[in-house]
Structure 1
Amino acid sequence: MSTIQTQTRAENFNPLDVVEQILDDYAWPFDRCSDQEMTVQVPGRWCDYSMHFAWSEDASAMHYTCAFDLPVPSERKPAVHELLSLTNEKLWLGHFCMWDDENLPMFRYALPLRGTQGLETGQLEDLVETALLECERFYPAFQWVIWGGRPPHEALMAAMFETVGEA
């Protein structure tokens, strides 16, 4: 009997309720478009990021994107696609891709939730933190390719460069 109750609780659970709680905690204004979608603008070091959360009950998964405000001119798209490929090799979770409707690079991740008790607060915090860290880390590479005309491999190496010590 506990299995049936557990399944019922999980089926009635909407992970966007947890997302809403977390966004409230961060004091980030958001728009809950429907029971299946919500968006939020988050300030970053390099730009404001547009986050989108979507819940699919049929797939029992939450889809998450974090786009940067860095439009890609059509002549730079081939170089950006090469950079996307190189960048994705460096990631453990999620991936970067192009949002073709808006010509913007974005980080994407889908979180399957079937068979779970729903989305845990820690999972969501890790997801948002990972996306923001990766977007902040790779934003300069995208900027150098898009606006600086740099080759993708060179821009990525420069973005991955870490300083050691103090001057």
Structure 2
Amino acid sequence: MDLYLGNGVNYVASFTAPLTGLGGGSAAVFASGFLDPTSNQNGAAFGLFAALANGTVVQLPAATAPNARVQVIHNSADVLAGSVDVYINGALAIPDFAFRSATPFIDLPAGVTLNIGVAPGNSSSVNDTLANFPVILSADEKYVVFANGVLTGGYLPNPDGRNTDFTLL
């Protein structure tokens, strides 16, 4: 069960509702608590609950978000990309990522749009990105991603006429 804010756009959380044990009974399911307790006098954290017919209230478990495994290989020979910072959804994920280096496999959320931004290695925020790529990964898949190409002009054209623009493959 995926929960969104009233606008239907902003995702809040996912929960499972294992209610098969009710045996034909009923339950009232309700959301309760603060999405950010620290901003609300350390009040109760947000959760999804079921009130059973006998008066028992049970907390429904949060669903495990599906993931994909991703390894990134930096293969852009552009001197401006000698060292880059990689941002995922605005957060610095891979700082000072050097040319001809690779990450270990990392877990990333699957089934949602990830906005991947590549910035110079000395960037101060996601606002410094030079290239952006929206991607959606499939759950339980492994990906090897190559950062290839050049960010700027001034290089000789590819003799085969292939596009040499910076991209993720």
Which category of TM-score, normalised to the shorter sequence, fits these structures?
Answer: under 0.3
Q: Would you tell me which structure has more strand in proportion to its own residues?
A: 2
By relative contact order (CA 8 Å, sep 6+), the higher-ranking structure is 1
- Name the TM-score, length of structure 2 as normaliser: 0.24
Q: Would you tell me which structure has more helix in proportion to its own residues?
A: 1
Structure label with greater radius of gyration: 2
